Structure 1
Amino acid sequence: MAMRKSSKSKTSNNLVITSVAFQDHITRTLLHPNFSFSDPLLRCKRNTPKNPHARGRVENGLQQRQDGGNEREYVLDPAPPPLTLAQKMGLVASPAERLTEDEWMQVKARSVQQGESAQPCAICREEFRLQPQVLLSCSHVFHRACLRAFERFSGRKCCPMCRREQYETRVIHDAARLFRHQCATRIQACWRGYVARRWYRHMRKTVCPKDKDLRRKFFEAKLQELNDSFVRYCHTDTEAFLSDIDRSLSSSRRVFEQLERKSISEPQENDWDRIQSQVIQRGVWDCPICLTALCSLDIPTEADRSSHQQRRRTVLLSCSHLFHQLCLEAFESFAADSRPSCPLCRSAYHKKLI
């Protein structure tokens, strides 16, 4: 009898503990989430905003860029509450553990692979742009404000896409980075288009086209432009235009006068005799070009005529310099000017064979 009584008392005690554990779990999780048997007078402290109009605002992501500028990802869910007595006794399943950083990276990689950030928000059907976005543990992405509104009006924490309950949320900035990249790409495209159009307009004004009709129009436009500028110039100041013409004519006359002064007349026979006497007095009988001996200006004897004919002929210049005829002709053929100058004194000359 004593054994039966002890077993009945143990069973009744277990039933009492089990019922208390269930009541505690129901009270803390369903009816009064903020109530605790350890402190029954504990009141719920809600984070009420100081500004009464702050609840109606929609976050646009600009404040975060102004404050820090760094896009830091963080988990929005608070720390999980302590386990109830029923959960500790194994009567009720314990909540799932929070995702680690590696698991969040896997969820984000799956979301990027599905292109969630590149698509509009599934709740409001608008682009994310710079507005804050949240990533759920089920790899779906929404506006942070849209998800809050959905949870408030639905009355439960359930994913709007896959209906998964008790999910975790994490703030990400993938859509903001994509939007800034798109803006930079559009700005670069506009600038490159402007540069290309400007270069094309300049090319059309300066480069003559290959087509015959287009070439004719090109030169007609150029001629018309010159005529217009000439007419404008004449209409503005005729006296200045005529004075410019007079100055150009006077400068042309001066140039021609200088050319006439530089031109020399052909020497006469007496002049050639005087030049030969200067050569004899100088006594230089080597060609300055090939540096070989020249023939003497004295009249050769009959014994020297045969050897004199075999020598190369000599050319006397009006500047009293002697050269071999072949050497001087080679120098003249390589000269750039139409009228070459003397290789020694750089003066214009007339030549005579001796």
Structure 2
Amino acid sequence: MAMRKGSTSKASNKLVINSVAFYDHITRSLLQQGISLSDPLLGLKRKAPRNPQARGRAEERRLQGEEDGEYVLDAAPPPLTLAQKLGLVASPAGRLTEDEWTQVKARSIQQGESSQPCAVCREEFLLQPQVLLSCSHVFHRACVQAFERFSGRRCCPMCRKEQYETRVIHDAAQLFRHQSATRIQACWRGYVARKRYTKLRRSICPKDKRLRRKFFEEKLQELNDSFVRYCHTDTEAFLSDINRSLSSSRRVFQQLERKHVSEPRENDWERIQSQVIHRGVWDCPICLTDLCSPSLPTEGDASSHRQHRPTVLLSCSHVFHQICLEAFEAFTTESRPSCPVCRSVYHKKLI
């Protein structure tokens, strides 16, 4: 009889302990979900975290992690309840270690999650906050939070895995920066190549006949444009200046030429006279009448008045009547006249 009473008391004590453990577990679970026990008709109410210091430390860690590297976004799990310690309720799974997170991220990189759009909003990640779930799926942080608020439970939007862990990563941001830098470098290389090619086209003549003709046409057009720009609008005045410069240069050269003409010697005069005889010209180029001189042969009988008209031989091998040449010299305005035929400075000799 005493043994029955002892066993009954032990069973009742165990039942009481189990009941208290279940009550404690249910109470904590409801408090974690934000349900108010004092006024259940008000429905779900969100409460502030119990420990403000822990919230401040989490916020500081979040800000530091965004700049430095990756970090786990979920808060530390609550302590085990009495029911979980007694084994009446299954204990929650432990948090992932760094090695496990490395394997999860490796699977995500292999699947190309960061290079694809977000599965919730279907937009690129760019530089927006990005989270990696323990099931190796990647989403926008705001999209995951909105999905949890909309669905009322914590599950992955793709594989529906519950009770996942969240880790903030920056793979998409790094990929976007790399792509942006690659595009900038490609644009710069293209600009440099086009500029170099344009410079080569302007400086090197192409081998194709049609392109070569176009090349020289452009060069000629550039010269014409530069000439017009240099002349401004007074082109006539510029051309007049050029003509005056050419005239003055021509006069200088003529003066130098006259100064360097030396008087022929006796042998030179004989050679010049032989050239006249060989050429066979017997008319004066000024009056167009026959020449008559003791040194020159004549054709037929010469008139008496022709014998009284002396002939002059010039150093340029031209022959004139002395009267005709003197009249020409009196008519010209130059200080030293030139030959009426070849316009060269001469020395004369009476023959």
Measured against the shorter chain, the TM-score band is 0.5 to 0.7
Question: Where do 1:162-241 residues align within 5 Å?
Answer: 162-234=159-231, 236-238=233-235, 239=237
Q: Does 1:121 align with 2:123?
A: no
- The answer as to whether partners of 1:157 and 1:167 remain within 8 angstroms in 2 is yes
Letter of the 2:161 counterpart: R
Aligned partners of 1:220 and 1:191: how far apart in 2? Answer: 31
After TM superposition, the score normalised by the length of structure 1 is: 0.59
| 1:214-240 Cα distance to aligned partner (Å, 9 max, x none) | 111211222232233334434534445
Query: CA shift at 1:11, angstroms?
Result: 1.2
| Equivalent pair of 2:65/2:71 in contact (CA under 8 Å) | no
1:77 aligns with 2:74: yes
- Higher alpha-carbon Rg: 2
- Does the 8 A contact of 1:120 with 1:127 survive in 2? yes
Residue 160 of structure 1 pairs with residue 162 of structure 2: no
The one-character-per-residue Cα deviations of 1:30-50 (angstroms, maximum 9, x if unpaired) are 466579xxxxxxx98516xxx
Going from structure 1 to structure 2, the CA distance change for 1:44 and 1:199 (only over 3 Å counts) comes to: closer
CA contact (8 A) 2:70 2:167 kept: yes
Q: Which amino acid aligns with 1:12?
A: S
- The whole-number CA distance in structure 2 between the counterparts of 1:166 and 1:197 is 57
3-state DSSP of counterpart to 1:201: helix
Shift of 1:68: 9.2
Decide whether the 8 Å contact of 1:83 with 1:94 is kept in 2: yes
Which residues in structure 2 correspond to 1:1-354 (within 5 Å)? 1-30=1-30, 33=33, 45-46=47-48, 70-234=67-231, 236-238=233-235, 239=237, 243=241
SS in 2 for 1:108: helix
Question: What RMSD over aligned residues (CA atoms) do the two structures have, in Å?
Answer: 3.6
Q: Deviation digits for residues 142-178 of structure 1, max 9, x if unmatched?
A: 1000000000110000011111111110111111111
Partner of 2:290 in structure 1? none
Shift of 1:194: 1.6
Deviation at 1:180, TM superposition (A): 1.1
Contact 1:76 1:169 in 2 (8 A): yes
Partner Cα distance (2:112, 2:193) in 1: 34
Q: Which amino acid aligns with 2:97?
A: T
Instruction: Return the alpha-carbon distance in structure 2 between the equivalents of residues 33 and 230 of structure 1.
Output: 88
What is the one-letter code of the residue matched to 2:186?
A
Unaligned 5+ runs, structure 2 = 36-44, 50-61, 257-351
Cα gap change, 1:209 to 1:9, in 2 (>3 Å): same
Number of equivalences: 237
Counterpart code for 1:122: A
Q: Which amino acid aligns with 1:15?
A: L
* Cα drift, residue 15 of structure 1: 1.5
Return the letter of the residue paired with 1:197: R
Identical columns (%) = 73
Q: Distance in 2 between matches of 1:102 and 1:84?
A: 28
Q: Is the 8 A contact 1:71 1:173 kept in 2?
A: no
**Contact 1:73–1:173, Cα closer than 8 Å, also in 2:** yes
Stretches of structure 1 that go unaligned for 5 or more consecutive residues are: 36-42, 48-62, 259-354
The amino acid across from 2:14 in the alignment is N
2:249 and 2:67 mapped to 1: Cα distance? 72
**Structure 2 CA distance for aligned equivalents of residues 69 and 89 of structure 1:** 40
User: Is the CA contact 1:135–1:142 (under 8 Å) kept in the aligned structure 2?
Assistant: yes
Distance 1:91 1:210 in 2: 92
Deviates more, 1:206-215 or 1:236-245: 236-245
Relative distance call for 1:253 and 1:70 in structure 2 (3 A) is: farther
TM-score with structure 2 setting the length: 0.59
How far apart in 2 are the matches of 1:156 and 1:144? 16
Pair 1:69–1:105, CA change in 2 (3 A): closer
